[in-house]
Structure 1
Amino acid sequence: MKKLFLFFAIVLLLSGCSWFETSHEMEKNAGELVSEGSSAFVSGDYKTAVKAYTDLKDWYPFSKYAILAELKIADSHYHLEEYDEAMIAYEEFEKMHPRNEAIPYVIYQTGLCWFNQIDTIDRDHTPAKNSLTQFNRLIDQHPESEYAQKAKENIKNCMENLSGHELYVANFYYKTKRYKAALKRYEYLVENYPGSKESKEALNKIPKCRALANKI
């Protein structure tokens, strides 16, 4: 019985310590938290920034700084190269504040999260495809935005990666004598990436590839 009493006493003591610690943390007001987060963000301490802005968002959801906190949490994750977390935060921001003036920036940053993950043409082309989708959406919805102009600069790299990937796959099929599959890839490349150097190479290979495919 004494052991059981001692156990509960320890639990109560630990809970009390935790309560006092939380209470002490919560004594910071919204202005102090935004100042703490901003200082950390500017100095490149993005983990501390995430903590401060998250506390601000959780404890003061109706504060005039709450929307800023949501955006800075996303930006901090972006700078930490935590792209999945950043995209979730940006997408949540857009969902909650669809008319906010920062939306063009948010869409652009979402695109950059994918863009920064683009790898060589022999790897998964999903990042290039998804970043292209975001950049095109930005240009369609906010054509006058400064971020739309920046997006146009990145679209070229996306297209080059995607067309390079298509040619890589088509050539692989051709080399392994899977001519019908190769032909579909070459034709797709010409149709969807006209004028690219990859499409020109595909045009040169299509006649021979078609002849070999017809023999199968």
Structure 2
Amino acid sequence: MKRLISLALIALTALTLVSCGPKNKEEKLAPELAEDARVQFEKERYDEAIKIYTKLRDWYPFDKLAIEAEYNIAEAHFNMEAYDEAALAYEEFEKLHPRHESIDYIINQQALCYFNRLDTVDRDQAQAIKAISIFTRLIRQYPDSAYVEKAKEKRELCLKSLAGHEMYVGRFYLKNKKYESALHRFQTVIDAYAGLGFDEEAQELAARSREKLAEEKAEGAE
């Protein structure tokens, strides 16, 4: 019985080694794949690098080089400006390796995936909102990080974009005589985005909106 158990354990171990390693003689070892991927990455052949890093990650999930592969997959997507894919890859890396020595960089890169797609103030501001959230998390969790100062600058640019959007919409409402809606937008800028360069105009247009609202009420009372 002991001999049968020993043989079963040996077979199970062999099966595990086979499943975690190359499937045939033509498949490369982890260091070989890592070197092939590095060469492609440095030549800016990012699609090919991603393919090789993905093989490395999938074939050798417990090798320390798999972590490097995950990291570089995100970097390759970012360098190609494939920001949706890069953001997902960075987020997954953070979940899997929250104590990684470069985790502050990883979080900063997540934020840049959204920051780099900031749109004009007349468009949807979802990217700015997401970037602000991640930059803020970086600043709070890693106040001594080398990326914090730039993160603060970029967060302020995102806030200016949000304020500019509120001003744009407020002017639109004011022009179309939607005075209450306009006032709400200008007041939001005054309350939530003070000191970003819109204070004077927001105060002026808020006052004008109030005047127009008062005129409407007066006319309605006659």
| TM-score normalised by structure 1 residue count | 0.86
Q: Matched residue of 1:196: which SS?
A: coil
Does 2:189 correspond to 1:152? no
* Deviation of the 1:211 alpha carbon: 2.3
Tell me the equivalent position of 2:139.
139
1:76 alignment partner in structure 2? 76
- How big is the shift at 1:202? 0.6
- Letter of the 1:127 partner, please give it: Q
> Is 1:190 matched with 2:201?
no
The residue that corresponds to 1:15 in the other structure is none
Q: Is contact 1:105-1:147 (8 Å) kept? A: yes
Q: Helix, strand or coil: the match of 2:93?
A: helix
1:62 corresponds to which residue? 62
CA contact (8 A) 1:60 1:66 kept: yes
Identify if the C-alpha distance between structure 1 residues 24 and 80 changes in structure 2 by more than 3 Å, giving closer, same or farther: farther
Change beyond 3 A, Cα 1:173–1:62? same
Work out whether 1:121 is the aligned partner of 2:104. no
Q: Provide the residue aligned with 2:10 in structure 1.
A: none
Aligned to 1:212: 212
3-state DSSP class of the match of 1:143?
Answer: coil
CA distance in structure 2 between the aligned counterparts of 1:105 and 1:94, rounded to whole angstroms: 10
Q: Percent identity?
A: 45
| CA RMSD after TM alignment | 1.4
Cα separation, 1, equivalents of 2:149 and 2:196: 22
Letter in 2 for 1:209: S
Tell me the CA shift for residue 207 of structure 1. 1.6
CA–CA distance in structure 1, aligned partners of residues 164 and 206 of structure 2: 16
Name the amino acid aligned to 2:140.
D
Structure 1 window deviating more from structure 2 (166-175 vs 204-213): it is 204-213
For the residue of structure 2 that corresponds to 1:117, the secondary structure is coil
How far apart, in 1, do the equivalents of 2:171 and 2:24 lie? 64
Q: Which residue of 2 aligns with 1:31?
A: 31
Aligned partner of 2:7 in structure 1 is: none
Report deviation, 1:197.
2.1
Once residues 24 and 166 of structure 2 are traced to their aligned partners in structure 1, the CA distance between those partners, rounded to angstroms, is 58
CA distance in 1, matches of 2:25, 2:121: 53
- Which whole-Å CA distance do the structure 1 matches of 2:213 and 2:39 have between them? 64
In structure 2, C-alpha distance between the alignment counterparts of 1:178 and 1:78, rounded to whole Å: 42
Tell me the residue number matched to 1:100: 100
Determine the C-alpha separation between the residues in 2 that align with 1:136 and 1:40.
Answer: 35
Cα distance in 1 for residues equivalent to 2:193 and 2:186: 10
How many residue pairs get matched?
194
Cα distance, 1:177–1:30 mapped onto 2, change above 3 Å: same
1:13 aligns to what?
A: none
Q: Secondary structure at the match of 1:161?
A: helix
What SS class does the counterpart of residue 65 from structure 1 fall into? helix
* Residue type of the alignment partner of 2:122: D
The AA in structure 1 aligned to 2:81 is E
Distance 1:156 1:72 in 2: 29
AA matched with 1:162? L
Per the TM alignment, residue 24 of structure 1 is displaced from its structure 2 partner at its CA by: 5.9
User: Is contact 1:186-1:199 (8 Å) kept?
Assistant: no
Classify the secondary structure of the residue corresponding to 2:64.
Answer: coil
- The gaps in structure 1 that reach 5 residues or longer are 1-21
